[in-house]
Structure 1
């Protein structure tokens, strides 16, 4: 489908204006940013001067000065998404951003894949979790975007992360209660046996 370059430009210009408006922009900007990401308006648009602009990498679009880009930083983009109050909306926005940052457009990306870029999530981040779920467990990915599960809970349910709990160590009774709440009876019995053997 051919992109509507003028419509894309209108969205990009509105987002750029919101980013330059400071505090007020943080109220209107997130919704505009989500639209730009969802509709992929950043990929191709025509500026007010009639110049057609195309991008393969979202980071380039973000950092390029106006009118050809936002003249912003990936950190500011992430801050805008973090300001979304609705957890499901925030998860969807972060997922859309991750898809934009991860988009592959041919060529040798091995150098990019081996370094940490601004806005490029690490292996334990929410974005990395969403990416793994999107690829390998779309059913749980949908649950996260719908707000039914946190990214971490979905990763644990999928078996991609181990369930970890904090256990108080200043009181044997509290430790035992925490273990009983989070382990099945067979595992508790096995733990008790191991602890007795160590003693």
Structure 2
């Protein structure tokens, strides 16, 4: 990939400005972020002051104040990605972010900047954040099932469906408990006849 530091700088400055614009910036920021991740513009650029900037860590680029970085948080970056309307582009951005934040792929997860931002991130309930689960799924698929990973990026499968298909997650269904009849209908719709019979046998067994 040919590096154009000044073109990269234009993208970085545009994204930085969008993030500082608040509500309006959240409308233009997602597309800019995806392009920066695709083109790796964050790695090398020249500021308006003529300073050459090189980043080996995406997290450091994010938290570094302007003009050498975005002066933002990883939490905000994930929020931007979650707001991408196009599902395929959203998954692509999640996958690209996962790549650049993994040790050995350009990210420095032991940097002080990352540690401080990660503490903030975890404190806001990252364990229940949908993006965390998707990122973990994409990481596993990219490593162990690149064929299914490609299907997710192409929009042919959701991350969860691909994980189930790969055998990395168990398929689960929601069973209404409003009545035995409703529960039975939900089970019949989702289980094979032999599985339904086995379930009936197990339910009929004495404790």
TM-score past 0.5 threshold: yes
The Cα of 1:122 is off from its aligned counterpart by 5.8
Unaligned runs of 5+ in 1: none
1:176 aligns with 2:205: no
Alignment: residue pair count: 198
CA contact (8 A) 2:56 2:106 kept: no
Partner residue, 2:93: 93
Q: CA deviation at 1:35?
A: 0.7
What is the 5 A alignment of 1:41-80?
41-80=41-80
Q: Structure 1 residue 163 and structure 2 residue 168: aligned?
A: no
Matched, 1:186 2:171: no
2:5–2:44: 8 Å Cα contact kept in structure 1?
yes
The structure-2 alpha-carbon separation of the partners of 1:106 and 1:146, relative to structure 1 and needing over 3 Å to count, comes to closer
Output one character per residue of 1:52-100: Cα deviation in whole Å (capped at 9) or x when no partner: 2122221110010001000111111111111111211211111111112
Task: Quote the residue 1:37 is aligned against.
Answer: 37
Residue ranges of structure 2 left out of the alignment (5+ in a row): none
Contact 2:34-2:93 at 8 Å conserved across structures: yes
Q: Where does residue 81 of structure 2 map in the other structure? A: 81
Seen in structure 2, the aligned counterparts of structure 1 residues 73 and 188 have a Cα distance that, compared at 3 Å, is: same
TM-score of the aligned structures, taking structure 1 as reference length: 0.87
Residue 17 of structure 1 corresponds to 17
Q: Any idea what the Cα deviations from partners look like across 1:121-143, whole Å, max 9, x if unmatched?
A: 76961111111111111221122
Q: CA deviation at 1:3?
A: 2.2
8 Å CA contact retained: 2:44, 2:54? yes
